[in-house]
Amino acid sequence: MTLVFSLFLFSCLGPETTVTNIVNPDGSVLRRIEMKNSENHFQNKQLKVPVDSSWTFVDSITISEKGDTTWFRTAEKLFINTEEINKAYLCDSGVNREVARSAFFKRKFKWF
């Protein structure tokens, strides 16, 4: 019972977060962090990915038909290539710093 309660408590402490890496045809990588919360309270320390002033932030809200308000914060950064994003992984000081990660981009063509 205590375990269930603690899981419920800790799951409600932060915003719902999605991290997406989009690889463009030129090899650049757009990293997007989308957070969704039931209150207008976002802190960068809640992010699983360290961010700095080189990131672009956009805040928005939606109001449901029932009058419920949901706040969104989106952070994006364009990395020029996978080597640059791998350097960011190595310098990670956030909660995922112990996780081994790497990115690579390999082009393949059907006629080769």
CA distance 103 to 87: 10
| Distance set, CA 70 to CA 16, 40, 60, 64, 66 (Å) | 11, 8, 9, 8, 12
CB-based contacts of 16, cutoff 8 Å, min separation 6:
35, 36, 37
Q: What's the pLDDT at 65?
A: 92
Give the containing element (helix H, strand E) for 41.
none
The predicted-structure confidence for 45-76, as pLDDT tens digits, reads as follows 666 666 778 899 998 999 989 988 899 989 99
Give the number of other CB atoms < 10 A from CB of residue 29. Answer: 21
